[in-house]
Amino acid sequence: MPDTILIVEDDRTLRETLEYRLTREGYTVFAAADGPAGLDVARRQHPNLLLLDLMLPGLDGFELCRILRREMNAPIIMLTARDQEIDKVVGLEVGADDYLTKPFSMRELLARIKAQLRRVRLTREDAIAAGEPAAEPPVASAPPNLVFDDLSIDLGRHVVLLRGEPLKLKPKEYDLLVFLARNRTMVLSRDLILERVWGWDFAGGTRTVDVHVRWLREKIEADPARPSRLVTVRGAGYRFEG
């Protein structure tokens, strides 16, 4: 069954060009011309990947991304004519997985789409290898929680509880925690974490992993300076002890 892609783009020429090319590549494609329509289609069709323009009428790409990230796990690639670093940072912080500045080559877009879909497949394989069911569409039963003493991760609702209280985690903090928790007691290198959580073509370096680990420690460790859950393995990477 082909992967499904939703394009939310108000430029009709670009939208139709993307729809035509992605269809030729074998994808099932849905399209919308504004934010509210894109949100409606996403909720009805549950696409495997989304392409969102930043400057959308009705509901801009940032807000649309923020809403969709709360409701689904599908990779989100933002498309925009703006090349300001702050836009990229905000886009990634609200939940986008990648960012492509117009004009872009179709070859590069296709490569990034394949990379994101590959990351999802690898994450699903990791879950299966760990004895967990693969992620299912929203209509299916929710996956079980990951529970470690007073820390629990609700995979279905994207909620993390510490001593019964919900934690406010950024999207990548949540993704990082889930990846580490699913591979409990395994030593994971920074390069592996970067590839599996951010994608192999992420422009940042492994310092990104260190920063997010530090943020997570501040939220889940009793003493962030002496972590007992997110342990550093010198010269190797990190290990989640639960």
Listed by start position, the domains of the chain span 4-127, 142-240
Mean pLDDT of 45-74: 88
* 145, pLDDT greater than 90: no
Tens-place pLDDT, residues 151-198: 999 877 788 999 989 999 988 899 899 889 888 888 889 888 887 788
Considering only CA atoms, which of 190, 203, 210 is closest in space to residue 91?
Answer: 203
The whole-model pTM stands at: 0.54
Tens-place pLDDT, residues 12-32: 999 999 999 999 999 999 999
Share of residues in the chain with pLDDT > 70 (%): 85
CATH 3.20.20.80 fits 142-240, yes or no: no
The CATH fold of domain 4-127: Rossmann fold (3.40.50)
Share of residues in the chain with pLDDT > 90 (%): 45
Tens-place pLDDT, residues 163-173: 989 999 988 89
* 132, pLDDT greater than 60: no
Asked if residue 175 lies in contact with residue 226, where contact means CB atoms within 8 angstroms, the answer is: no
